[in-house]
Amino acid sequence: MRSKLNLPQDKIDRARALAASICAPVLEFIEQHTTVTVERATLRLLGADGASPDGIPVPNLVVDALRDRLGEGVAAWYANALLQTGLEQAELDRRIAEGFSIATLPMGDRQRALELASELAARNFARIDANRAFRQAKQEEYKGRNHSPLLYLIVATGNIYEDVKQAQAAALHGADVIAVIRTTAQSLLDYVPYGATTEGFGGTYATQENFRIMRQALDEVMERERRYIYQTNYASGLCMPEIAAMGALERLDMMLNDSMYGILFRDINMYRTFVDQRFSRMINAYSGIIINTGEDNYLTTSDAFEKAYTVLASQFLNERFAYAAGLQPWQMGLGHAFEMDPSIKNGILYELAQAQMAREIFPEHPLKYMPPTKHMSGDIFKGLVMDNMFNFVSKATGQGIHLLGMLTEAIHTPFMMDRHIAVETALYVMNGIDAIMDEIEFRPDGLIVRRAHEVLDRTVQFLEEVERIGLMQSIEQAMFADIARPRTGGKGFEGLVPRLETYANPVEDRLERALGLAH
């Protein structure tokens, strides 16, 4: 990719070095801790399944029973229960769901228990391996049939069976990526509901059965259209690692997974979030899932013109945390958004500068570009124009994942016809300007180039300040998204657990070995 902005490589390198320095102490903290949901995700990848009559998942029941032993890791205790009782795994899970506590069993041969846990993990990793191989085979078979950028549409009815109808219609209209929005506040639930669900507010519960149902439906369209259809959900909130595990098992292709989103926008404890995000990202890395980060959300609380540098800074930090979890550049859908106040003179040129800057700094990453929402007024005619300027900038700058804007944003949940209009207008714009950047050069002293250089300069200065005081202190001081969060406050802090020297986790060991992260 030939640069049009002539950004100084030494400043880009400086920003990456600062991001590595900023993330290092956080990664050290992560290594020393586990959480209740890391342990529950571990159980899910050992095959623990089912729920009590009250709907409490078996992994939650096990972790709750072993609450005072989590510093050792739950894997050995779960496998020990299989050895001590002689039960098949499904039968043990059934008894746990009925009220049996494995904490009542003494630990037998711990090493044998860990070996059995590793064997249990191998079964589910084989399933994940098969999912990844199937995805790669289908993508190769249908190579060249997806749009560029990938066209991303959402469904959010609250009923998984209604979601299926809307998702299939959207895919048939031309969408490449279908995202199922989670029901309001699911990110704050410290458990994952069990089974298929038909009620939700503003979205549908993320459950493993719902993932399976949607995957089957999208595969039907994929075979009919001869085009790979990507499925997306949210590996975020208090159950981030568990949802990543469910996505891996059911062959999701993308997952929203940010290093700081839960801290800033859901008031989830920062310690808990940082630990959970690394484990979830290792699962995503192993599974071949593309993560979507949440920098677009910064611009809903901060001004997109004045605070553009915080978006770029977060992209550098998300990239660093992603590398530390074994993700490859092609799996890093770093986020940003077309969110400047439309009254700003030359605002579209500033958006073009920001998008082109991100594309040149992260050339191998499938950048996730978000449409205007903050300044959508309910005027559908103006909204359609704003969305199509967004379409123009996205195509011109070579974004990777394009969340289609809706002319009815700020009015209601989009109808199927709204999505159809979004696809048709996006394809019209993108087809009409396909080679535009091959024909255009930017003036070296012009507004676009100056703006990109200014944002990069300000980003480096900002990262230098964050390095000086530390990432966690920076969050406490509202340096990101103008939102302050305390270190020991927020939801889920009680679920953070220091690791003991005896801590063992065969699932994590397998992930780290496979991803080249083993110590």
Number of CB atoms found within 10 A of residue 386's CB: 23
Question: By three-state DSSP, how is residue 208 classified?
Answer: helix
Write down the catalytic residue from 296, 323, 369, 503. Answer: 296
d(CA 78, CA 82): 7
Amino acid at 375: H
Write down the catalytic residue from 78, 152, 261, 309. Answer: 261
Q: What is the DSSP string of 32-50?
A: TEEEHHHHHHHHHHHT---
Q: What is the DSSP string of 318-332?
A: HHHHHHHTT--GGGE
Q: What is the DSSP letter of 496?
A: E
- Catalytic residue status for 152: no
User: Who contacts 436 (Cβ-Cβ below 8 Å, separation ≥6)?
Assistant: 395, 396
How far, rounded to the nearest angstrom, does the alpha carbon of residue 265 sit from its chain's CA centroid? 14
Count of H-run helices and E-run strands, the chain: 20, 11
Tokens 């049009």 label which residue? 4
Q: What is the DSSP string of 262-331?
A: HHHHH-B-HHHHHHHHHHHHHHHHHHTPEEE--GGGHHHHS-TTTTHHHHHHHHHHHHHHHHHTT--GGG
Q: Give one word for 302, left, alpha or beta, with left for phi > 0 and alpha for psi -120 to 50.
A: beta
Distances (CA, A) of 352 to 107, 339, 391, 481: 61, 12, 11, 21
Instruction: Give the 3-state secondary structure of 363-430.
Output: CCCCCEEECCCCCCCCCHHHHHHHHHHHHHHHHHCCCCEEECCCCCCCCCCCCHHHHHHHHHHHHHHH
On whether the CB atoms of residues 495 and 60 are closer than 8 A, the answer is no
On whether the CB atoms of residues 257 and 15 are closer than 8 A, the answer is no
Tokens 């259209």 label which residue? 225
Q: What is the DSSP string of 329-370?
A: GGGEE-EEE----TTSTTHHHHHHHHHHHHHHHSTTS--EEE
d(CA 405, CA 387): 5
Number of CB atoms found within 10 A of residue 446's CB: 12
- Catalytic residue status for 271: no
- Catalytic residue status for 368: yes
Q: What is the length of the chain?
A: 519
First-to-final CA distance of the chain: 36
Instruction: Give the 3-state secondary structure of 103-159.
Output: HHCCCCCHHHHHHHHHHHHHHHHHHHHHHHHHHHHHHHHCCCCCCCCEEEEEECCCC
Number of CB atoms found within 10 A of residue 52's CB: 15
Write down the catalytic residue from 4, 368, 395, 491. Answer: 368
Amino acid at 435: A
Active-site residue numbers?
Answer: 261, 296, 368
